[in-house]
Each structure stands twice: as C-alpha cells, then as structure tokens.
Amino acid sequence: MGILEVKDVNKRFGGLQALGDVNLSVAENTVHAIIGPNGAGKSTLLNCLVGKLIPDTGSVMFDGQSVLGRTPFEINQMGISRVFQTPEIFGDLTVMENMLIPCFARRDGSFALHGIRSVTSEAELRDQAEQMLEDVNMLDKRNMHSASMSRGDKRRLEMAMCLVQNPKLLLLDEPTAGMARADTNNTIDLLKEIKETRDITIAIIEHDMHVVFSLAERITVLAQGTPLVEDSPENIKGHPKVKEAYLGEAA
C-alpha cells in the first residue's frame, strides 16, 4: 500500500476525457515522477488530489483516508502541499511574510485568532522561515516585495512555502520551468537533500528529463489521460511506448 492510492479515476471536461481510468500508487518516502506530453492530464490529476477538482468516478486515498469531498485546506492539513504550474504566492506580501503564513497554518491549523500578538514576537516561526529561506538561497531577499521577483524566484519561494510546512506528500507541478540552469541544479540538490533528511514523499511533474532522471525512483508515463507504463527510470529510458508517446507525432 502506498501513501497515495489513486483508483480508477475518471475526469471529463465536456466531451474531453482528461483522465481515463487512472490508477496510481505512490510508495511512502519515494520520489515518483509523472511525465507525459502537453495536455496529457498531469495537472488535472494533481488537481484531483488537492481538492481543486472532484473526479467523476474513482477514489483517492491518502494515508488511509479518502481526500474526496474535502476542501483544499483540509487536504493540506492532512499533510499534502502543492506547488502550482504557474507560481501561486502572496504577491502583496514580502518574501518573509509569504513564508510565515504556511508556518502559522502548520502551527495553528486552519483557523486561529491571534489578533493582538505581534508578528515580530513569533521568534520560533521566524527562525524556521529564515532557515528554510537560507536552504533555497533566498535569505537575502526576505524583505523584498514578492510580486517584483523573477518567475524562477517565485517558484523557489513557493517551494520553500510548501517545504516549511513539512508535508508528508509534496506535489510539484513543473517546479523548474522558467528557471535558469544553475537554479534548476540548485533545486535538484535541495530536493535530494530534503529527501535524505526528512520523511517525505514527492510526486513531481516535469518536462525536464535531467530533473526527472536525477530525482525519480519511479516514473509513470501519462498520455491522453491514461497511464501508459509505470517503471523504474532505467527501464523507462529505453521503453518503446514512451518514445512513441513523446515522439509519435514527430516520427
């Protein structure tokens, strides 16, 4: 039994079958990559995991509990954090403030009325946030207005916001898209380190094969809403079906 069990999930948008009978099992404390051509349904699948979309049929179990019918914040409180394909951060807040919100969410749950205490007095949470910013090499930007940062920095910030929550399952939707090569390599190193030092399961969607093969222990190939194959990276590399899915139209 994996920590995440997706069974027979179907999702239609009008006439389009975005997901068709998706079965996926992600083992605890592994990095599982989901790859596939554009429009394969990868983001749609993640949306079904975090409560953004509700599958038409099928079940999604996390840690032995169903996530279906729960709100996004409840699912997050169960231990799933997600980085979006287009960065979702609090643009009007500073980098440090962006980091503190997930810290509050982790400590206080989905609602707590701390209306009198000062944010500056939250020494413990500030330390955690600064530590995490240091890990993603952004400590020098902590007082920056986050909307004014580059796309790559926004992604790194969003990833830091998810990681500081110490989630059981981290969902990454193309975390290195729009990043410079050096930042991509830093991200790979960071994720490797996180994986070694924490009990964390990572599901990653990625087009950059360098990232995929550096990190993934298991790979699922999705095409037209259905999993084609699931195997180890070595076996995926030379798999004829994978080549067909990716190069089919070009060949």
Q: Which stretches of the chain bind ligand ATP, using CB under 6 A? A: 13, 16, 18, 36, 38-44, 85
d(Cα 219, Cα 234) in Å, to the nearest integer? 10
d(Cα 52, Cα 251) in Å, to the nearest integer? 36
Q: How far is the CB of 217 from Mg ion (least distance, A)?
A: 22
Token representation of residue 132: 């995490």
Interaction mask 71-100, Mg ion, x per CB under 5 A:
--------------x---------------
Q: Closest Cα partner for 213 from 244, 180, 242, 250? A: 242
Q: Residue 212 contacts by C-beta under 8 Å, 6 or more apart in sequence?
A: 33, 35, 204, 206, 219, 233
Identify residues 39-78 at the interface with Mg ion (CB under 5 A): 43
41 is in the binding site of which of other proteins, Mg ion, ligand ATP, none (Cβ under 5 to 8 A by kind)? ligand ATP
Judge contact between 18 and 12, C-beta under 8 A.
Answer: yes
Q: Looking at 29, 59, 66, 71, which residue binds other proteins (CB under 8 A)?
A: 71
With respect to ligand ATP, which residue has the nearer C-beta, 105 or 177?
Answer: 177
d(Cα 173, Cα 42) in Å, to the nearest integer? 8
Token representation of residue 190: 């960071």
203 is in the binding site of which of ligand ATP, other proteins, Mg ion, none (Cβ under 5 to 8 A by kind)? none
Kindly compute the dihedral angle of the four CA atoms of residues 239, 244, 246, 251, in this order, to the nearest 10 degrees: 130
With respect to other proteins, which residue has the nearer C-beta, 94 or 186?
Answer: 94
Q: How far is the CB of 215 from ligand ATP (least distance, A)?
A: 18
Q: How far is the CB of 116 from other proteins (least distance, A)?
A: 5
39 is in the binding site of which of ligand ATP, other proteins, Mg ion, none (Cβ under 5 to 8 A by kind)? ligand ATP
Residues paired with 65 in a beta bridge: 62
